[in-house]
Each structure stands twice: as structure tokens, then as C-alpha cells.
Chains A and B, each alone.
Chain A
């Protein structure tokens, strides 16, 4: 694990063992529940059925044990929903979730419990995931006691160890969340996730709300934890610099689907999908000097009414007739790299 973490570019694709986490054709639809009157109206054909929001639409990927996969996209692309599906926060509508290579249907009770506990989530705003009236020691130590991993008497010892591990002074155990700064609160959130000894962390915009100098501290902590505990990461972020820095592979999402996936350095050096290209071109980077912006036209379409064919064709500078009719599938473009674009078929 240590060797793997120190050379992120050389992440294993042809791993012998089964991937740690895998999804196959996973889909999550949200439908607003109609009330009684609406249900009657729909049954009589007076109202159309409520629209379906396809937040995640047939997504497949695998993450190896100890690997860090980035999930990038703009608001509404489904990256957070996908992360929550993996962490068990949402129930999927369709598709398969495989834990250590085994489909959910074949899990026994022990494996189901492990799959839940081994994938923990870290949120953007730790304040909204911490009970303001609960002392942080109690918040961190709650889950391991509830799951019977430690006894109540051992709790404080475990919490002290976790707080030390994430860079907090254990003597602050009896303080309340509001007595901590933003960066410290994120450390509390991390300690709480680590309390049940997870093997994988889903980090949803975990550093987005932090100032640059604090963000660096938390990113370093994530890298330390990965090395020390051999953690698998699903790192959801809109910040391309953050993703480039700490992930081995990256998946780019647009309107509920993955449009490109592959090793992070390769995609950043030579993006294949027009959307990835636009995303990388638009993001300003330090050291590029002044520039004249030439923006990608159009808005992100609503996931309630995605355009037909390729969802990106309304904004794509290279769209042609086929893109408006037929949705492209995610196909290999190079070893370990795939993109969903009709342009790749023409070569």
C-alpha cells in the first residue's frame, strides 16, 4: 500500500484481486411523490406522471483497494448522488453494487454490515453533519459503541487516539463543535468517519469550503491517512487542482453519466472528451498569466429534461448530426482510458 500511495501515477489497473468497490450500470432516479389528488388525476389521465430526475444514469466503474478515484463535474451532474450511493446513504434505483467483487444480492449479514461500515463519508460542511449540542468526543465515539466495536469504557481512549491521528488535541474532547475553526471541524468529521475503521472514504467536496492554507493541511491529512491506513478514496470535487493532486484516476461526469475515465495525469495532459477539454480549459490556474476568456456557450441542461442523443451536444463545439440522435457509449480509447464520444469512432 505504501508503495502504491507514494507513486500514484502507477495505480494498478490489471489487479489480480477483485476491485474493492465496483458499480455496474448503477442508476438513481428521483421522483417527487404525487399527493392523493394528483395520484387520482394521473390515474384518470388528467395529469402527466411526475417527471423523473435521472441523477445517475447507468454508471459503471471499479476502484481498487488503496486507490484514489476522483469524481469531477459541475453542479447537478450526479457526482454527489453517486458518492452517496456507494456510502449507502441513498438506495439505488437499478444496477449492481459489488463489494470485494461480490454482488449485493449474494452478501450475507456479516458482509452487508462490513460493506456499510467500511465505506464512510466526509461532507463539505462538517457543521451540518455534527450535532451542535453534542460534545465532539461523544460525536466521534458514538458509532463505534453503537456498532459494538468498542465498549463504552474504551470509548474515550479510542477517541483520544483518533483525535491525535487527525491532528487535534485530545484534551478538546469535551468541547462543542462551535468552539472549533472550520479546518478543525473538518478534522472532527474525519475522525468520526475513521472511528469505525473504514477501508474506504467517500469525500464529497471535503475541502471546498476551506481557505487555501487550511485546505492544504486537510489534503495532507488525507494523503497521510491513505499511506498509514491504506484507504480507498472516492474524491468528489469540482476543484480540478485538488483532484489532480490527490487522485490516481479520475472520472468526469456530465448529466448523470461518466463521459471520460482514466489515469489522472493522462487525462489532465491530454483530455479525450470535448467536455473534459472545455472543463480543463476554463479552469484558471496560477502561473498562466492574463488570458482572454472564450467561453463554452450555453448552460448546463436540466437533468429533468436531458437533451436527446449525447447530453453534451447542445454545448459541444464539435457536435454533428449523430450526436443529436444517438447517445455515445463509454468505450476504450487507450489502455485504461475510456470516453463516451462519437468523434472517437471516426478515426
Chain B
């Protein structure tokens, strides 16, 4: 298995503002943390310091590839077997623009979708989540609870737990 197994502490929050406050403090303290939420919320995004995704760059690469093939492939086939039609050009840019546009959208769209899951998977390898039965049984992060997971050593756990308790954490679990 890639990456280190999880060591740290995790808490379950009922309220979004409380979870966001904890996240903002963890960020200030430079802790290694992850956040779980049932839907994307800008409050959490702001608390995390508005990190960026590399998706737009990958979309540009895939879309550019599509555009290249969309013009390149029809042009090559037109030159491979020349079919003269009156005075019309063999390589017809207006006609091939449609193919170029469609392939740009096709490769760009599919590449973007694959990138969403590939980057999410890579992040999960880098920032490991707890693997305990207790964590797996906690199935409300897709429902109505917010989770804050902190990767830390046993000595730091007490301070993190106390901070979580200050912010009305519903449940705290240490895993070492």
C-alpha cells in the first residue's frame, strides 16, 4: 500500500461554522488535515485558504489535443486520398472546424472528468484517511455531518482534541 497508515485524531461536527472555525485554526497552526463534507461549501473553502485545483491545466491539455486531432486527422486523410470537388480546397478549414470543435469538446470533457477522479485518488494517497472500523461505520459525512481529520503524533492529540471540544465537536476519536 502506498503512503503511511493514518495516525491522528478525527472529529464529527454537526454545525458547518464550528467545523470551519476548527479548520481555520488548524491551518494557522500548520497542521496536516483533511475535511469531509456532504456537499461543497464556500465556508470550508475559505477556511482552508481557498486551495486551487490543477484541473483547468489538464482540461487545457486535453482540449488542445482534441483541437489538434480535429484539424490534423481530416487534413491528413484529405491529403492521403485527394478527392477533387470543383474548385474547392483539398484541406477545407471551415469544414474541418466542426470536427476540430467536436473533438476539442470530446477530449477536453472526458479528460476533465477523468482528471477529477485521478487527482482525487492521488490526494487520497497523499493525505490518508483513517482506516478503522469506527471510521468506516461513520456514514453521515455524505448525509448531514462534517468531519475534520488531523494527521498528528500522539503528543499533539490532546491540544487538537481540546480545540475540537471548544467548538462543540459531537464525537472525537484518536487512532494511534
A is bound by B:
no
